Chains A and B, each alone.
Chain A
């Protein structure tokens, strides 16, 4: 099973600033990596697939990169409704499809 590890656990950022989230895989997943946003009380929402491709309707403020074992999600010009937990998910080796434990982004 591929273990996904996210850091930091919590990130506190001021509005208008940039948040950088990390996700590391226990073995190479190439570019088979997705990112999700989960706001409180809601289902997750797909942001990014194939490591860096935005899902339809996702604003350009969300960008991502990475290959192999190390991946980054960058959220620029942070807004209040970006307050959420962000999860990464690998789909290179499945079953099982595995998620990271999440990074909570708080807006100061």
Chain B
């Protein structure tokens, strides 16, 4: 399993960024995928999840209406579109997959991307 992230960087408040996460080594469409972030020196915050198929998504209140999680199962790629960025969005962003153990879905994160830093500052 590999989750290779790209995107991120420095953006001004009010700006937009898109993160990507290219997946390999597993049946991408069968797994829910998520974004989690970690502000510098702080803990982990779940951001959003998209189910394997059917398009159902969930968001943290802190990003609802500003961020959009999406996936392209034909490209095995997960995305996070981040709009109306604020300084509090500054963090390392990780993509992660939910596992299936014995065909049961567990809402945990068994593989993580390498992380990408998003800095929102003027």
Contacts and interface: CB of A to CB of B under 8 A. Distances in A.
Interface of A: 32, 34, 36, 43-46, 49-50, 53, 55, 87, 89, 91, 94-102
B44 A44 contact: yes
A91 B96 CA distance: 15
B40 interface: no
A99 B43 contact: yes
Interface of B: 34, 43-46, 49, 58-61, 94, 99, 101, 106-110, 112-115
B106 A99 contact: no
Contact of B107 (A45, A53, A94): A94
A99 B60 contact: no
Given A46-B110, A91-B106, A96 B60 contact: yes
Nearest to B42: A101
A48 to B, nearest CB: 9
